[in-house]
Amino acid sequence: MSIRIALDAMGGDRAPGVTVQGAFLAAKEGVEVLLVGEEARLRAELARLGASLPIHHAPDWIPMEEHATEVRKRRESSIMVAMDLLKRGEVQAVVSMGHTGATMAAALFTLGRVKGVERPALLVEFPSQRGRTFLLDGGANADCRPSFLVQFAAMGLAYAEASGLKDPKVGLLSIGEEEGKGNALVLETYPLLKDALGERFFGNVEGRDVFLGTAEVVVTDGFTGNVVLKLAEGEAKVLLGWIKEALTSSPLARLGALLARGALRKVKEKVDPSQYGAMPLLGVEGAVFIGHGSADALAVKNALLRARSLVAAGLLDRVRAGLSALHV
C-alpha cells in the first residue's frame, strides 16, 4: 500500500522554511510527501535546498493569530485543501505544524467524527521509566463529560497497540490512587472505565505516574492534560539548562561532560519534543497529526515518519474497532 502524506507547508511559526526542510529530510528516508501551500514560495524553498518535491497549490493559509472558526470560510487555505485531499483519498494522512484550533476545525468540518466519538482528542506522548506513556486529551477539550474520557481510553489503547505496545493498561489521572479520590469528573468516570475496559483499566494514577509508566495510557480532560504537557516541556527545558550550566562550570566539569557526551545525548533525545514530531488527533475520520507551531525541521521530519508508520499499522481501523468494542 502506497502511503502519501499531505503536509500543510504553510503552517507553523517558521513556515515554509522549516516545513519544506523537514519534508525534504523525511523524503530522503522514503516518506512520500505532498507539500500543500503557496506554490511560488514552496518552489523557492525547494530551490534553496536543491530539492524536488511534489506541490499542491493552495493560495491561502491560516495565520497563528487568527480565530479557528475562520477556517470554514477559507476553503482555499492550505489546511482545508490538505483535508479535502485526505477526504478524497488522494493522500492517506495530513500533518500540520500550524494553528491547532484551525487544524482541528478543518478536520471536523471536512472529515467528520468516527462513529461513537462525541469529541476527538489530542494524544501526547511522554518518555517514561518503562518506555512511553500516552496521555489524552492533550488540549482539544477543556471541559469533558465522563463518556468522553471512556472514548479517549478506547482510542488511546488503539494508538498504543498500533505503536507496538503489548497489552497496554489505562489509568485515570487523579489526586490519589484510591477509587474514592478525585473531583466530580474522576469519580463519575471511574466506574464507567471499570465496566467498559475490565482488566485493561489499571485504576487511578497520579501525576508522577505519567513518567513512571505505571499505566501506558492515561486519560484526563483537555484542560488538565494541556497543563501536564506544558509543565513537562517547561521542566525538561529548565533541567537541561541546569545540566548544561553544571557541566560547563569548571575545567573538570567540562572534561566530565566530554566523557559522558554520548550518554547525555541520549537523555536529551528522550526529552526533546522534536523527537515526537506531532500529536495525533484521534476520533476524526482520517489520520491527522498536529505539531507545535515552534517546530523545527527535525520535528516536521519525525511527524511525517510517525504518520507513515501509524497509517501502515492501520491506526484508524484500530480506533474504530476499539470504540465499537466498548461495553457502555
Quick: pLDDT tens for 284-327. Answer: 999 999 988 788 899 999 999 999 999 998 999 999 988 887 75
The CA angle 80-70-227, to the nearest 5 degrees, is: 90
299 belongs to a structural domain: yes
pLDDT score of 100? 87
pLDDT at 274 over 70: no
Is residue 278 within 8 Å of residue 289, measured between CB atoms?
yes
209 belongs to a structural domain: yes
Average pLDDT over residues 214-237: 89
Q: Please give the grid coordinates belonging to residue 42.
A: 514552496
Model pLDDT for residues 48-70, shown as the tens digit of each residue: 999 999 999 999 988 887 777 77
Instruction: Please report, rounded to a whole number, the percentage of residues in the chain having pLDDT higher than 90.
Output: 61
User: For the CA atoms of the chain, what is the radius of gyration?
Assistant: 20
CA 85 to each of CA 36, 97, 106, 233: distance values in angstroms, whole numbers, following the listed order? 10, 17, 12, 33
CA distance 76 to 80: 6
326 belongs to a structural domain: no
pLDDT at 15 over 80: yes
pLDDT at 282 over 90: yes
306 belongs to a structural domain: yes
pLDDT at 271 over 80: no
Q: Are residues 129 and 239 in the same domain?
A: yes
173 belongs to a structural domain: yes
Q: Are residues 295 and 244 in the same domain?
A: no
Q: Are residues 137 and 223 in the same domain?
A: yes
Q: Are residues 113 and 61 in the same domain?
A: yes
Average predicted confidence (pLDDT) for the chain: 89
Q: Are residues 134 and 222 in the same domain?
A: yes
Q: Are residues 235 and 178 in the same domain?
A: yes
Model pLDDT for residues 27-53, shown as the tens digit of each residue: 999 999 999 999 999 999 999 999 999
Q: Are residues 294 and 262 in the same domain?
A: no
Instruction: Please report, rounded to a whole number, the percentage of residues in the chain having pLDDT higher than 70.
Output: 95
**CATH number of domain containing 1:** 3.40.718.10
Q: Please give the grid coordinates belonging to residue 175.
A: 489526586
Average pLDDT over residues 18-25: 95
Model pLDDT for residues 132-159, shown as the tens digit of each residue: 899 999 988 889 999 999 999 999 999 9
- Residue predicted with more confidence, 41 or 261: 41
Band of pLDDT at residue 328, cut at 50, 70 and 90? very low
Q: Are residues 226 and 310 in the same domain?
A: no
Q: Are residues 310 and 225 in the same domain?
A: no
132 belongs to a structural domain: yes
pLDDT at 272 over 70: no
Q: In 10 A of CB 166, how many CB atoms?
A: 7
Q: Are residues 236 and 294 in the same domain?
A: no
Model pLDDT for residues 107-133, shown as the tens digit of each residue: 999 999 999 899 999 999 888 888 889
Band of pLDDT at residue 270, cut at 50, 70 and 90? low
pLDDT at 223 over 70: yes
Q: Are residues 138 and 186 in the same domain?
A: yes
Domain that holds residue 195: 122-275
Q: Give the global pTM.
A: 0.87
How many separate domains does the chain show?
A: 2
18 belongs to a structural domain: yes
Q: Are residues 63 and 4 in the same domain?
A: yes
Mention every residue, 6+ apart, whose C-beta is less than 8 A from residue 258: none
327 belongs to a structural domain: no
β-strand pairing of 55-57 with 32-37: parallel
CA distance 211 to 216: 10
